[in-house]
Every structure is written in C-alpha cells, then in structure tokens.
Amino acid sequence: MESVIDQPMTHATHDRVAPVWRTIDEAAARRTLRAQVEKLETELARLTVRITPRDAIDWSPRMSALHGPRLLGLGELERIRDDLAERLHAVRQALAERAEREALKRDQLARMLRDPAEHRFVRITRTDVGEPGCGAWESRPRLGIIGMLAGWWHVKVSSGCPLATVEAAAGLNSIIHS
C-alpha cells in the first residue's frame, strides 16, 4: 500500500520552484523495521545469556505497555527498534567492561603468583577472573606470624565451595530419613 507524504519536497528548476511528491511504501518500511527489530532481538538474546547479576544491567521496561494486540505504526516500530538498539549497546558495553575487569584481575593473579610477598593478603576469586565455580587465590604467610616476620609468603588456593550450612544439612537429613 502506498501513501503520499503531506509535505512536498521542492527542487529548483531554472526560474521556478516545482514541488516533488515523495511516496513511501509503508509495507516495505514495516518489513524493513520488523527485520531490524528481529535482528536486534536475536543479538540481544544471544548476548543476554552471558550477562551476570554483577554486570548491573537495567532491565526495566522503557516502552509504555501496549494495550492489546494491534498493528504497530511506523513510529512505534522505530521506537521499539531504537529501544532495542540502546539495550544492545548497554549489554555490549557491560560485557566489554567485565572482560576488561577480568583481564586486569588475571594479570594481577599472574603477578601475585610470581611474587606473593608483593601482594600480601590479596584475595582473587574465580569469579573475578571469569572462571565458573567457587574458589580463590590468596597471598598468605607460611606458618602464620612467624612466616610473616620471616617474609615467607605463598599463594594459597582454596579448595572450592564451602561446606553446606547447618540449615541446608538439616534439610538434606530430613529428606534422606523420610
């Protein structure tokens, strides 16, 4: 379906100005916008699975609630596309910032492993360096206060997740014994 835009464009001919009417194919514009929205939604969904709560992404709805099913106008499709583009930019930026933080922590961990005495009591978790699971590396003195006075530092690697809490163990016992 084609429609005419009410505002004529003009171009100058030799000594007079003649209006030039532009027509737009609304169906083609809709298809293009829907394709752009689909591409943005797909990319946003692909990147969203890599987001963690530590990335602090604002997921609050920005568009006003649509009232029932209806055909969206070109302006509404453009607003949805622009909102998705902003969200995608925010997710990409958060992922890039996290990658930079993790790279800095990995570099700090490498320096700490080379020289534990220079990184006294520094603790780096697996999450800090982008690894899954529990655990941490910590620069500690050997033999407590004696090692601290003698300068005997080493990096201690934790064994992983802490033991279950008393409440969790009690819940597990009740399941086992029932």
pLDDT for position 175 = 52
pLDDT for position 2 = 44
For the segment 52-77, the average pLDDT, to the nearest whole number, is: 70
What are the domain boundaries of the chain?
A: 1-8+16-52+73-113, 115-178
Question: 23 has which bridge partners?
Answer: 4
Question: 137 has which bridge partners?
Answer: 124, 157
Residue 151 has pLDDT above 60, yes or no: yes
For the segment 65-85, the average pLDDT, to the nearest whole number, is: 80
pLDDT for position 46 = 86
Lowest pLDDT segment from 15-19, 83-87, 109-113, 157-161: 15-19
pLDDT for position 159 = 73
The sign of the dihedral angle between the CA atoms of 147, 149, 150, 152 is: positive
Residue 66 has pLDDT above 70, yes or no: no
For the segment 63-67, the average pLDDT, to the nearest whole number, is: 57
CB-based contact 121:138 (threshold 8 Å): yes
pTM: 0.62
Residue 70 has pLDDT above 80, yes or no: no
Amino acid, single-letter form, for residue 139: S
Write down the number of H helices and E strands in the chain. 4, 7
The sign of the dihedral angle between the CA atoms of 130, 136, 137, 140 is: positive
